[in-house]
């Protein structure tokens, strides 16, 4: 139980959008002492009412304006499709609320820049849900990498090998550039790319290619990207929605060890493995062991950190730093696919390159 949250003065939470992902938000809030779900709203009032009945009976509203007016939340969770996030965040900030927004936070970097500026001007927090960064195993691994305990990181692999069919794309906002903002590299692989970049730090150069080999959507079902980090690490990322055995994999080879993660949508100690290189002193390798006390990754862990910061009056916690990094990498992959050459991070300062994603998709 978070010590910083005081039940006597509960933080008032509200959820906009009561579809698929909203349940994870409501459950995380219910698990936090000192946070109360006071209102929900959805374009489908019926869906919102059913959701409220399952999650403690918060007030039910038809839209964001009514939610802000009627429930007076301190924090609004945006669990709506990405096209609405920027405008909804601006309205919530104007009403004095902090915002927790689901990934992807916006349809383009330029839109996300505006959301971050809106938060700054309003003096409110903007937290983006990249829950793969959360949990005790990532904290441990990041500390080992940051402290140099594994030696210099050299090479990495980042794989999102998932399967998505017609049922997944039946939701009205998925599968088009206009409504979803990008394909599976943007909408799905961004989780693994975000974790990779959370662990390896700032990137300097990226390229990408996108293919459509089996589906009939506007965007890719296979992509490949090479990302070079400022540290010199070269990472290759492969994404597909055509995998029969689904998995999410990350591998980082350092001077002293191979660090591996295999999971699907979430991880804990058992999903990670650190293999020492030949000749590494076993006594040194023993110091890399994962702590026995363990917290799995996920919405519970991430939102717990966010609410502890809110209750303490702190800014968003360090686990949420650099929320645009994976978004930038995917954008660079798209620009590189269009221009046929790798893009340097400094080139992304050009506002013309921060607009909506439109990679040329090679149809096979
Ligand atoms: N972090 C994760 O692991 C994860 C997992 C799934 C989805 N997501 C993200 O969460 C967001 C929502 O995805 P989902 O799968 O829950 O979608 P969904 O389609 O299941 O639910 C979206 C809900 O928002 C409602 N809605 C749409 N526009 C609205 C508006 N203007 N006002 C009020 N309600 C509105 C819809 O009626 C629907 O009930 C997306 O950005 C998605 O990428 C994140």
What DSSP string describes 212-245?
A: ESS--SSS-SEEEEEEEETTS-EEEEEEESEEEE
CB 42 less than 6 A from any atom of ligand 1: yes
Give me the residue spans of the domains in the chain: 11-129, 133-296+325-363
pLDDT at 7: 53
d(CA 48, CA 62): 8
d(CA 247, CA 142): 22
Say if residues 337 and 209 touch (Cβ distance below 8 Å).
yes
Q: Is 3 exposed, middle or buried (0-12, 13-18, 19+ CB in 10 A)?
A: exposed
CB 84 less than 6 A from any atom of ligand 1: yes
Superfamily of domain 133-296+325-363: Dihydrodipicolinate Reductase; domain 2 (3.30.360.10)
Q: What is the pLDDT of residues 238-250, one digit of tens each?
A: 999 999 999 999 9
Say if residues 230 and 212 touch (Cβ distance below 8 Å).
no
What is the 362 CA–ligand 1 centroid distance (Å)? Answer: 29
Equal CATH topology for 11-129 and 133-296+325-363? no
pLDDT at 8: 63
d(CA 305, CA 318): 9
Say if residues 271 and 261 touch (Cβ distance below 8 Å).
yes
Ligand 1 atom with the smallest distance to the CA of 47 is: 39
Nearest by Cα to 359 from 260, 167, 224, 179: 224
Contacts 24+ apart (CB under 8 A), 262-270: 266/131, 266/132, 266/135, 266/296, 266/297, 266/298, 267/132, 267/135, 267/137, 267/138, 267/296, 267/297, 268/135, 268/136, 268/137, 268/294, 268/295, 268/296, 268/297, 269/136, 269/137, 269/294
Instruction: Quickly tell me which residue has 């700032």 as its tokens.
Output: 202
- CA distances to 25, 192, 243 from 79, in Å: 8, 20, 27
- Residues of the chain falling short of pLDDT 50: 1-4
pLDDT at 216: 87
pLDDT at 40: 98
CB 82 less than 6 A from any atom of ligand 1: yes
Ligand 1 atom with the smallest distance to the CA of 173 is: 19
pLDDT at 2: 41
CB 180 less than 6 A from any atom of ligand 1: no
- Domain 11-129 carries which CATH code? 3.40.50.720
């Amino acid at each position: 139980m978070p010590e910083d949250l005081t039940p006597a003065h509960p933080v008032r939470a509200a959820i906009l959008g009561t579809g698929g992902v909203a349940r994870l938000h409501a459950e995380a809030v219910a698990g936090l002492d000192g946070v109360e779900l006071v209102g929900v709203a959805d374009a489908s009032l019926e869906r919102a009412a059913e959701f409220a009945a399952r999650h403690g009976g918060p007030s039910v509203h038809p839209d964001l304006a009514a939610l802000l007016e009627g429930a007076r939340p301190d924090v609004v969770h945006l669990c709506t499709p990405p096209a609405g996030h920027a405008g909804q965040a601006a309205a919530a900030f104007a009403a004095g609320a902090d915002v927790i927004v689901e990934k992807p936070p916006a349809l383009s970097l330029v839109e996300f820049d505006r959301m971050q500026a809106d938060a700054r001007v309003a003096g409110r927090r903007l937290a983006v849900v990249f829950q793969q960064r959360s949990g005790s195993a990532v904290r441990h691994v990041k500390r080992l990498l940051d402290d140099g305990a594994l030696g210099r990181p050299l090479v990495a692999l980042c794989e999102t090998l998932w399967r998505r069919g017609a049922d997944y794309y039946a939701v009205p906002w998925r599968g088009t550039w206009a409504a979803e903002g990008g394909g599976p590299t943007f909408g799905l692989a961004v989780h693994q790319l975000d974790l990779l970049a959370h662990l390896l730090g700032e990137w300097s150069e990226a390229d990408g290619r996108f293919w459509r080999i089996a589906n009939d959507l506007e965007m890719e079902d296979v992509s490949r990207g090479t990302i070079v980090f400022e540290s010199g690490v070269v990472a290759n990322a492969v994404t597909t929605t055509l995998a029969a055995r689904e998995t999410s994999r990350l591998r980082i080879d350092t001077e002293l060890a191979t660090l591996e993660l295999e999971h699907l949508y979430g991880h804990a100690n058992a999903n990670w493995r650190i293999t020492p290189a030949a000749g590494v002193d076993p006594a040194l390798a023993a110091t890399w062991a994962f702590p026995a006390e363990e917290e799995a990754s996920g919405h519970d862990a991430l939102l717990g950190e966010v609410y502890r910061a809110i209750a303490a009056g702190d800014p968003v916690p360090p686990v949420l730093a650099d929320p645009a990094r994976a978004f930038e990498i995917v954008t660079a992959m798209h620009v590189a696919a269009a221009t046929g050459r790798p893009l340097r991070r400094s080139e992304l300062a050009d506002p013309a390159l921060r607009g909506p994603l439109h990679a040329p998709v090679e149809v096979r």
